[in-house]
Amino acid sequence: MLQRTTGDGHIVVGAGIVGASVAYHLSALGQRVTLIESGEPGSGVSGRSFGWVGRPPGIPSPTGALRHIAQTEYRRLESEIPDLNILWTGSLTWDGFNPHPTPRYAVSDAHAREPRLRQPPGTAYFSPDDGAIDPAHVARRLVSTARDLGAVVHADTPVTGLVVTDGRIAGVRTSRGNVAGRSVILAAGAGSATLFPPIGRHTVAYTSPAVLVRLRAEAGLVRGIVGTADFEVRQFPDGTLWCPREYSGEQTRADRDATARATIADLEAHFARVGRVEPISVEVGWRPMIADGEPLIGPHPDLPGLTLAVMHQGVTLGAAVGRVLAEELVSGVAASELAGCRPARFSLN
């Protein structure tokens, strides 16, 4: 059975990076928090994400205010929580893949940034402030710190539905019993699209697959985040390479082996003196997608007590969303940073 909890606290469903961040920030504000995860913290799509933390691309977007503070919020988390291991390496992009397509990011010395490039572009875009995280590790650190602050954490506990009393959220049903709470924050990532009917029809929220290939190579091959139109890569200090790929129907071991070989070939096409490269894993993750491409963050328009925190950009926005949404829930004052992300823009019934 679940540990008994009071009904006056917040229930956060999902311990990926968004849910973990919301739980941590609510706990830091002195709130009663119960965090419920169907597996282990960070074991969902967060653990299969590239982990790029960058600034907005300069194109107006409802998430512009959040993306603008994304890096600052992660640096704040670094000062509050030890051992997040964020790598502030900067990013180098070219060939049509330009998150920062403005003259102030343009550089003509790509080889100086990435000396092992086989054919450095004449012009690339370098963003020195961009960073990268291991999303699963950061989620686990957030959960651990939230627990130290008093949060109750239930891992390996699937949530199966909502408890609604007199038209208002009163808690959740789980595989191990009901949990009472005065509010529920749904941050279950891809699972949010099918977990509760109130998330809306499949035309509003749905899932999309992505692939992350992990390789083992010589340390120092790739200095920072590298992105082109057809290839992205970054490297950890221990030599591990992370390469996101488009999903091409990987279902069997043979499929995954073929994807690993294709990724190694792409790496060798972009970098010289690669040396020995060995596959570690090829993992498929299911990302939450919203019909208009923007997050669903804020109160459900028809179910008092239910708050949504569902987005494709969860890794980039995790630190910012956690703080801003927690402060909004505690203060009752709508956050201007979330104005363009409200669920009320859709009919969710």
Residues with Cβ within 8 Å of 51's Cβ and at least 6 positions away in sequence, in order, are: 132, 133, 134, 135, 234, 242, 315
User: The tokens of 319 are what?
Assistant: 């630190």
CA-wise closest residue to 187 among 339, 349, 45, 27? 45
What pTM does this model have?
0.92
User: Which pLDDT value is given to residue 293?
Assistant: 87
Residue 227 is inside which H or E element, if any? strand 225-227
- Contact in structure between 76 and 32 (CB atoms under 8 Å): no
Which residue(s) pair with 241 in the sheet?
Answer: 215, 235
**Nearest partner of 91 among 117, 123, 53, judged by Cα:** 53
CA–CA separation, 33 vs 154, rounded Å?
11
Full pLDDT tens readout for the chain, 349 residues: 555 455 689 999 999 999 999 999 999 999 999 999 998 988 877 778 899 998 766 667 778 889 889 999 999 999 999 999 999 999 999 987 766 656 667 888 899 999 999 999 888 999 999 999 999 999 999 999 999 999 999 999 999 988 999 989 999 999 999 999 999 999 998 777 666 555 555 568 888 899 999 999 999 999 999 999 889 999 999 999 999 999 999 999 999 999 999 999 999 999 999 999 999 999 998 888 888 889 999 999 888 999 999 998 899 999 999 999 999 999 999 999 999 999 998 876 6
**Strand 240-246 with 232-235, pairing:** antiparallel
